[in-house]
């Protein structure tokens, strides 16, 4: 898939736009023997990609008014799900190879409560449906037609199954070759994964996507799989992933990042070790695939790391909101 103009825009804007916030509260830096070891912030919201900036704005607003980190992450990623220009999240995203948009989403809080939906059609806000699964059923995941029927029962409106103008154009172009290459490289993936910590230390995360463009009908990625695309534990921290879902599922990526933090790694070290393991387990594909991880620990320290350059993330805390480039295992020239 060719780089689209939005991604070119993302790359151009990834020279970190820093916006200092008015009336900043003091952030705390953790100190050990008078040595500053890391930046820590509470509250803190992190999201994958530049579309995380408006999503974080909404999450921050909700968090400021309610102190509810679960509401904040849900409302935050709903902004991305509603963005008519977004080709990788929500019903305006790129379809599968049969021309049908199917969505995956998950939500989790630090006490272990979680919910997800996968392979769901016609629902504008799958993240809110995932929350309903968490709160209104004894289950963790509903899929496909069952998820859609549950949505109807919960009063969610069904949207018309019609590709957005941008998705329709891109799909028609793809149909010319119809090349089935289920690969996510550094140009064509953009799930929003958002993780956050409130000032009370409670953590939550939300992850939502239209998944891999032109995937097989029925394909489900990492985003709705608890422990793959998202994992949250108030005892330790939270992590989320973006990129080639199959490779993330193979290493239980977000769970791995949280478990590495539990064993004493910093969020940055944990993301780096997860990428290292992922590159070993997916060695034959590694040149043409991308994955990025984001993590927060319960102190409010953060980390981010990707397989290749190009992954950026939006960070919002009491002093600033900023788009940052993540470091990566491989450099630009491989």
Q: Which residues bind ligand ASP (CB under 6 A)?
A: 88, 184, 189-191, 209, 211-212, 221-223, 242-245
Q: CB within 8 A of 87, min separation 6: which ones?
A: 4, 6, 93, 94, 166, 167, 170, 190, 210, 213
191 catalytic residue (yes or no): yes
Per the CB < 8 A criterion, the answer to whether 83 and 92 are in contact is: yes
Report the alpha-carbon distance of residue 20 to residue 42 in Å, rounded.
Answer: 16
Helices (H), 251-326: 253-262, 267-281
Count of CA atoms in the C-beta half-sphere (13 A) of 191 = 35
Closer to ligand ASP by CB, 185 or 209: give it: 209
Closest approach of Cβ 185 to ligand ASP, in Å? 11
The smaller minimum CB distance to ligand ASP, of residues 190 and 233, is found at 190
The least distance separating ligand ASP from the CB of residue 68, rounded to whole angstroms, comes to: 26
When the beta carbons of 290 and 297 are compared against ligand ASP, the nearer one is 290
Residue in 80, 191, 208, 279 annotated catalytic: 191
In the complex with ligand ASP, the residue whose CB is nearer, 221 or 267, is 221
Strand order in the sheet with 103-109: 18-20, 320-325, 312-317, 44-48, 192-197, 203-209, 103-109, 114-120, 141-143
**Least CB distance to ligand ASP at residue 80 (A):** 12
Q: Cα-atom radius of gyration of the chain, to the nearest Å?
A: 18
Contact present, 208 and 238 (Cβ < 8 Å): no
Are the C-beta atoms of 79 and 208 separated by less than 8 Å?
no
- Residue 97: beta bridge partners? none
Measured CA angle at 250 (ends 246, 253), to 5 deg? 95
* 268-289 burial: b if 16+ Cβ within 10 Å, else e: bbbbbbbbebbbeebeeebeeb
Q: Give dist(CA 157, CA 84) in Å, integer.
A: 18
Least separation, in Å, of the C-beta of 291 and ligand ASP?
A: 8
Residue 155, token pair as written in the block? 């009063």
Q: How far from 73 is each of 1, 46, 59, 156, 166, CA to CA, in Å?
A: 30, 10, 6, 19, 27
The residues annotated as belonging to the active site are 191
């Amino acid at each position: 898939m060719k780089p689209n103009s939005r991604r070119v825009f993302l790359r151009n804007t990834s020279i970190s736009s820093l916006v200092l916030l008015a009336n900043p509260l003091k952030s705390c830096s953790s100190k050990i023997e008078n040595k500053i070891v890391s930046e820590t912030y509470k509250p803190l919201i992190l999201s994958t990609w530049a579309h995380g900036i408006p999503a974080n704005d909404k999450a921050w607003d909700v968090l400021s008014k309610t102190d509810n980190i679960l509401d904040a992450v849900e409302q935050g990623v709903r902004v991305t799900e509603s963005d008519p220009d977004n080709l990788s999240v929500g019903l305006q995203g790129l379809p599968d190879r049969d021309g049908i948009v199917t969505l995956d989403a998950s939500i989790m809080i630090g006490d272990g409560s979680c919910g997800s939906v996968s392979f769901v059609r016609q629902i504008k806000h799958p993240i809110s449906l995932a929350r309903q699964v968490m709160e209104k059923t004894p289950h963790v995941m509903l899929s496909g037609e069952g998820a859609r029927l549950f949505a109807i029962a919960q009063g969610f409106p069904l949207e018309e199954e019609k590709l957005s103008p941008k998705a329709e154009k891109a799909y028609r172009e793809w149909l010319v070759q119809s090349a089935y290459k289920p690969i996510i490289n550094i140009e064509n993936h953009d799930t929003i994964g958002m993780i956050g910590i409130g000032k009370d230390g409670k953590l939550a995360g939300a992850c939502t996507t239209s998944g891999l463009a032109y995937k097989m009908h029925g394909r489900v990625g990492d985003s709705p799989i608890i422990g793959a695309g998202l994992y949250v534990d108030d005892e330790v921290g939270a992590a989320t992933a973006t990129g080639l879902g199959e490779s993330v599922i193979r290493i239980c990526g977000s769970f791995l990042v949280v478990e590495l933090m539990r064993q004493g790694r910093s969020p940055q070290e944990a993301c780096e070790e997860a990428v290292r393991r992922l590159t070993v387990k997916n060695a034959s594909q590694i040149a043409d695939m991308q994955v990025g991880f984001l993590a927060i620990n319960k102190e409010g320290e953060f980390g981010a790391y990707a397989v290749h350059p190009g992954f950026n993330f939006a960070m919002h805390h009491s002093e600033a909101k900023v788009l940052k480039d993540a470091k990566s295992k491989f450099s630009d020239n491989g």
